[in-house]
């Protein structure tokens, strides 16, 4: 009998809407229905909706979410900031 695959590594992803619509708001509202996705933070003005979300999930789930949004969301791995010259 084949051994089960180990769980995929969980990483942080940056999520933004690709257009000026409410795709990010819809994504955030539906997060409760997405097992394996945890909202870490939102970024945006204090008087208005966020423009960016930071979530934790695995790579296959991030890719599935990107495809299921019909590419209305940009979902990319979070990269550490650096001050290289």
What local confidence, expressed as pLDDT, does residue 13 receive? 97
| Domain definitions of the chain by residue range | 10-77
The Cβ of residue 14 has, within 10 Å, a number of other Cβ atoms equal to 15
Task: Give per-residue pLDDT as tens, 4-44.
Answer: 666 678 999 999 998 877 899 999 999 999 989 999 999 99
pTM of the model: 0.82
pLDDT at 48: 85
CATH number of 10-77: 3.30.70
Cα dihedral 32, 36, 42, 48 sign? negative
Other Cβ atoms less than 10 A from the Cβ of 19: the count is 9
Q: Does the structure show a pLDDT above 90 at 61?
A: yes
d(CA 80, CA 61): 21
């Amino acid at each position: 009998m084949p051994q089960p695959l180990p769980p995929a590594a969980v990483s942080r992803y940056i999520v933004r809407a690709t257009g000026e619509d409410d795709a990010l708001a819809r994504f955030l509202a539906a997060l409760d229905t997405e097992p394996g996705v945890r909202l870490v933070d939102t970024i945006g003005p204090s008087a208005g909706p966020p423009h960016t979300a930071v979530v934790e999930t695995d790579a296959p789930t991030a890719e599935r979410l990107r495809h299921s949004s019909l590419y209305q969301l940009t979902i990319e791995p979070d990269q550490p900031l650096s001050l290289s010259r």
